[in-house]
Chains A and B, each alone.
Chain A
Amino acid sequence: MKRLFTIFLNGLIVENPLFIIMIGLCSALAVTTTVANGIGMGVALTFVLVMSEVIIALFRKLIPNSIRMPIFLVVIASFTTIMDLEMKAYFPALSKSMGVFIPLVVVNCIVMGRVEAYASKQPVLNALFDGLGMGIGYTWVLIALSVVRELLGNGTLLGIQVMPSSFSPMIFFILPPGGFLVFSFWMALSNQLRKKILAGRKPEPTEDSCCTLPDIGSAEKA
């Protein structure tokens, strides 16, 4: 039980997909103009991630190594489509405001990366907790980003006015440059936090096979 909990916590900070492994960035910055969008995207990705990890961990022995990539793609694309259709049916407003970023979950490196690096080698229960941890690790970052952006950029939180009426919204934070800026500062903050947690311990190298070339990428880190 304790081991499963450690797997779960891993995704929250130490190996946070956004701040540390730096994958799945597109949707994180694009949809976080409002907190509602941030939560919606987080839940959507967590759903696809957990389902894909569980299914692939379950069938991992029945997936021939040489064609594992296409099979992963089929599984992930299926769950993405299911999530897309369900959102259109039950949360049409949310689905519309996120637009192309819902189908783009299929190429979100978090899903592909975790399925490839983790779920294809681990038992179902481990994969389930890894999916949950990574999904929630992604979601909290989205909420953190969107709280700052919606509060400063629109004066509201979840659509409810919280800033005094004398506050004039700084639209900059809702526009793309503001997204980059807020993300940059959150990342700096999270890096400090991680250094504290890992003080004395040497962090395991995190691998990211989908955005950088392995050799050059690691050379720069070192």
Chain B
Amino acid sequence: MKTWQMIKLGLILAIYTTVGCVGLAFVYNSTSKTIAARQAADLQSALRDVFPSATRFTPTDKVVSSSSAVVFQSAYMAEGSSGPLGIAVQVQGSSYGGATVLLVGVSTDGTITGVKVIENKDTPGLGANAANPSYYVDRATKTTFPGQFTGKKVTDPFIVKEDVIPITSATITSRAITNLVRIVGKAASDALGIGTTAQGPKAVLPEADAVRASAKAVSSSAPGVTILETSIGTKAGAIIGAAATAKAKGYDGEITVLVGVSTDGTITGVQVLECTDSLGGSILAPTFAQQFTGKKAGMSLEVGTNVDAVSGATFSSKGATALVKATADALFKALSGGGL
């Protein structure tokens, strides 16, 4: 009797559950088409916003993210009647309140054609203003936060509070979005074949009148530091210094720097070429790199004592400083030992 009762109850419950599941399956089938169609339409209209004159968008896989924390969800080649116009990338990265998704358009001449915030979970009234069409960072010209990127060059520094106006009280959101735009700009311009580092080693060897690639490779003894390319600067034929690009792990991405050292061990110039740390983009500011000029290879360089960190990017500042020091030391050793 008791078993029979149990089976009966189980059956009743099973009937209710089955009816529920079947009903849901029907609703799901009818709504899933609408949801998919709407998402496709939303994407199309966002693509049109960043490339108004494009006639066709074809998916492309040529654009590659340089950071593991930044995901390129999809990328499209925009084509107009007279050939390719540029690339639009739907990019996901993390911001204050979770994932943020943007659509960034980069034209073939290396200009940002538009930034659209597709998804943002930041604080309403603060970070969420990134997606608010009536929140202006510049009230006079009615420029929204993402709107200010339109027309910028991918080679611009993209530093919040310098060339990017932040959202009031939402610095983390502003930095996160700016960082995503910069990474997409760099990746898209690489895919489109536009160089972003125009000056090269000459910029950090101001005294040299000629710069040539070094035949010998220089390596650093510091762990985790990879020296990529070494160049020698000469003046009237005599070697006066050397420059190298070097790479190391930052906080959660990678940092690449270009360091120039003269034969007496003085650092003649530093450029931070790339930083894919999720919030470390601000160390690309020239003011950070300029502090190293005039310092000596071999001396200790430490954030907090003789190097100022960029606020909000202490880890990346420390990483970059250690990298500059390791590179300068290796170059000086190579120069004085005649290893070049």
Contact = CB atoms under 8 A, between A and B. Distances in A.
A174 B124 contact: yes
Contacts of B24: 78, 81-82
A70 B27 contact: no
A39 to B, nearest CB: 16
A34 B23 contact: no
B31 to A, nearest CB: 4
A169 B134 CA distance: 14
B12 A74 contact: no
Given A82-B27, A85-B27, A171-B126, A161 B38 contact: no
Question: Which 5 residue pairs of A and B lie closest in terms of their CB atoms, listed nearest first?
Answer: A174-B125, A78-B20, A89-B34, A89-B31, A85-B31
B125 A71 contact: no
Interface residues of B, number: 25
B287 interface: no
A66 interface: yes
Given A66-B9, A74-B20, A175 B34 contact: no
Contacts of A66: 9
B16 interface: yes
A71 B16 contact: yes
Interface in B152-182: 169
A89 B35 contact: yes
Interface of A: 33-34, 62-64, 66-67, 70-71, 74-75, 77-78, 81-82, 85-86, 88-90, 92, 96, 99, 153-154, 161, 169, 171, 174-175
A74 B34 CA distance: 25
22 contacts: A33-B125, A62-B12, A64-B9, A67-B9, A70-B13, A71-B13, A75-B16, A77-B20, A78-B24, A81-B24, A81-B27, A85-B27, A85-B31, A86-B27, A88-B31, A89-B35, A92-B39, A92-B42, A161-B134, A174-B124, A174-B126, A175-B125
Contacts of A169: 125
B169 A171 contact: yes
B13 A67 contact: yes
Contacts of B20: 74-75, 77-78
Contacts of A171: 125-126, 169
Given A75-B16, A89-B34, 14 more contacts: A62-B12, A63-B12, A74-B13, A81-B27, A85-B32, A86-B31, A88-B31, A89-B38, A96-B119, A154-B124, A161-B134, A169-B125, A171-B125, A171-B169
Nearest to A34: B124
Contact of A85 (B12, B28, B119, B126): B28
Nearest to A62: B12
Q: Which of A70, A74, A89 has the most CB of B within 10 A?
A: A89
A204 to B, nearest CB: 32
Given A67-B9, A78-B23, A153 B125 contact: yes
B35 to A, nearest CB: 5
A71 B12 CA distance: 9
B121 interface: yes
A155 to B, nearest CB: 10
B74 interface: no
Contacts of A70: 13
A33 B124 contact: yes
A86 B42 CA distance: 17
Interface in B119-148: 119, 121, 123-126, 134
Nearest to A59: B16
B53 interface: no
Nearest to A97: B124
Contact of B35 (A33, A75, A88): A88
Contacts of A63: 12
Contacts of B119: 96
